[in-house]
Amino acid sequence: MKLKRIMALGLCVSTVLASTFVSATPTETSGLASAQVTVVEESSDSLPEAFAETALDETESQASESEFTEAVPAEVTETEAAETEVTAESTAESTSIPETSASETIEAEAASTEANDLAGFVTRLYQICLDRTPDANGLQSWIDVLQNHRDSGAGVAFGFVFSPEYQKKNTSNDEYVTMLYRVMLGREPDASGKASWIKLMQDGVTRKYIFAGFIGSKEFTGICNSYGVDRGDYQSDDVRDRQPAVTSFVVRLYREVLGRSYDPNGLTNWVTGLLNKTIKGSECAWGFLNSDEFIKKNVSDSEFLDILYNVFFDRGADTSGKQAWQKVLDSGLSRQHVVSGFAGSQEYLKLCASYGIEAAPEVIRSTENRDQNQDLTALVMRYYTYALGRKPLARDLNDWTGRLISKSISGTDLTLGFFTCDEYANRGRSNSEFVSDVYLAMLGRSVDAPGLNNWISLLNSGTSRRAVCTMLADSQEFIDQCNRLGIVYAVDGWNNGLYYYKNGKKLSGWQTISGNQYYFNPNNGNEKQTGWGYVDGYKYYFGDNGVLRTDLRNVLGKQSSYFIRIIRDKNVVQVYAKDGSNGYIIPVVNFVCSTGGSNTPLGTFRTQNQYRWHELMGPCWGQWCTRIVNGVLFHSVFYSENGNASTLSVSAYNKLGVTASHGCIRLTAGDAKWIYDNCSLGTTVQIVEDGDIGRYGKPSAYKLSSSHTWDPTDPNMYYKCRQKGCH
């Protein structure tokens, strides 16, 4: 009877347990719960340890089948009764319990103990991580996971630590580490250990990395073993956790350069580049220093250098070293150039090696023009300091140094660019101050007293400041400086449109360039002459571009008197105008002509008469005739008919420029007419055998075809040229 009651009680307990598991299963883990229920029902005849011992005692008394039947409680369900009957029948077949009954009882006992252990493991996670008691559904779900070996202790712990519920607690790093100590080590944290874990997170690793560190501890292994849980392992898959030293390298850049904590996305991007070796250590550092965020901080050069010492040397600046770098910045070189210098130091190479990254300073070497030649940049800085009294903008400094390096401008151009600009003029510097400024900028030294007095004397006597600059630029001292810096003191060709250089030398005096004549005045720094100028005893006129004008008839207008010279062997007529008391020293124009050689008399004469048309030898006729002496006249090339300008002798016309007349001075119709119209009777005419045809040279003569029987310079016949489209 006792055995029947005990067996029935065992069935009831099993059924109740099965029922409890079903009701405790959360909706989202119903499949897991169902599997567990099936297992429980299949082992419902296995009893807890206390019940099993009682059953064995009663079996030895060999109770009858009827006693088992009567022992079934009235409240037992049909299923329980059926189970009881089956058990009774099995018992009746033998006078003792089958061996399998003892084995199943032991398994049930082990399962119960295991469940209790797993529940304890999970319960402490609820209590320590989530700070609450477990809900039945959740507890059973986690027990199922562990019991069926679908995850390890490490995996279940991860599920709690990184669950949305825990994340919402928004714990500090201190609180997080304290929780891990309690969960994984079963104790409160020691101060030094906790500080070490917190520092790792401050240096950029994720909480997953810290979690993984605790998982591998002996303490957590012991805790898992005590609950019968397979510890398992965990390794963070976050890129920041792959090499904590590399992550720490980037974090210190956030701290030292930007003065703030890292943002996770930015940190991940930098670390990824360093790990993949697509970014080098120097590039990473420069990326922070050249970022908009840092530039907006607008730190001074001194503050900038302090930051570099901390970033690249992991120490404060030494006085002498910082002063040396400050001097580099003061000379006009860029901050990138300075950063490149720090990045190439042995200290930084060792620092990068300690973090396991490659420094590669060459990848951030500056390409700015001002960083290519420190001495040259210092020269340009002197011009800004002494000419303009200010510091340059980076783009302007790069522009000047770039053009000097490429030799597209010269040292002379540099000087004129600064000392002839409006900005310098607006400073209102005296002549003495001007000379001092020029010396300091160009030569890097003060002017000596005799030199200062000499320059001031020149300036006071009318020499321009531009001329002073160019004369000093021609000094051997300045030329040597330019050669030392690798720049030209003057670029071949036009320099500022005022000077012309050839083979590095400034041209002086009369020069023919591209077919045009110029005069570079040695009394004005060899600057090209413009406007009126006295040269070699004559008064010339130069256009605004410096080109000598060789026909001043429209410049001067009609003068009250002229002087005419005929150079017989050159077949050239020269006309001069009077320059007041200086006499006839203004060359007006040269005409090409044909003289009669020895038949044209030499001497000085005065014009006597003029004729619109006049009969010449032949008979033939000339236009716009002016008598010089006796039968010698200025006249046009002759015509075969009197008054008919369409009967020009083409053969005679094409001989202009060579000796061809019988003594007269043959001219084009236009030139003969100008003398006829502008030179009054009594004009002095000098005929010489040989002479200097002057700067104007000998004009070219027209060459006409045989059918062109009119003079293209004849204003009365020009309509025919327009009709023919010939001149």
**Rounded to whole angstroms, how far apart are CA atoms 208 and 684?**
113
Would you please indicate which residues are annotated as catalytic (active-site) residues? 635, 664
Pairing of β 684-688 and β 603-606 = antiparallel
Can you spell out the DSSP letters for 107-147? Answer: HHHHHHHHHHHHHHHHHHHHHHHSSSPPPHHHHHHHHHHHH
**Rounded to whole angstroms, how far apart are CA atoms 122 and 120?**
5
Torsion angle, alpha carbons of 429, 431, 437, 443, to 10: 170
Q: Which residues, in sequence order, are CB contacts of 609 under 8 Å at separation 6+? A: 626, 627, 681
Angle value at C-alpha 580, between 579 and 584, nearest 5 degrees: 45
Give the number of other Cβ atoms within 10 Å of residue 48's Cβ.
Answer: 16
Q: Which residues, in sequence order, are CB contacts of 348 under 8 Å at separation 6+? A: 281, 282, 312, 313, 342, 359, 361
Q: In angstroms, how far is CA 274 from the centroid of its own chain?
A: 22
CA-based diameter of the chain, in Å? 184
Quick one: DSSP state of residue 418?
Answer: H
Torsion angle, alpha carbons of 211, 216, 219, 222, to 10: 120
Q: Which residues, in sequence order, are CB contacts of 605 under 8 Å at separation 6+? A: 628, 629, 684, 685, 686, 687
Cα distances from 587 to residues 123, 496, 521, 549, in angstroms, run 119, 29, 19, 10
Cα distances from 324 to residues 53, 129, 259, 303, 318, in angstroms, run 93, 57, 26, 15, 10
Rg (CA), the chain: 57
**Rounded to whole angstroms, how far apart are CA atoms 151 and 231?**
9
Angle value at C-alpha 668, between 667 and 669, nearest 5 degrees: 110
3-state secondary structure of 253: helix
Q: Which residues, in sequence order, are CB contacts of 232 under 8 Å at separation 6+? A: 151, 152, 153, 154, 155, 215
Question: Contact 415/469 with Cβ under 8 angstroms?
Answer: yes
- Element housing 606 (H / E): strand 603-606
Task: Report which residue type is found at 301.
Answer: D
Question: How far apart are the two ends of the chain, measured CA to CA in Å?
Answer: 150
**Rounded to whole angstroms, how far apart are CA atoms 28 and 26?**
6
CA dihedral over 552, 554, 556, 559, signed as positive or negative: positive
Task: Report which residue type is found at 630.
Answer: N
CA dihedral over 168, 172, 175, 178, signed as positive or negative: positive
Question: Contact 186/124 with Cβ under 8 angstroms?
Answer: no
- Which residue bears the tokens 């025919």? 720
Angle value at C-alpha 94, between 86 and 14, nearest 5 degrees: 35
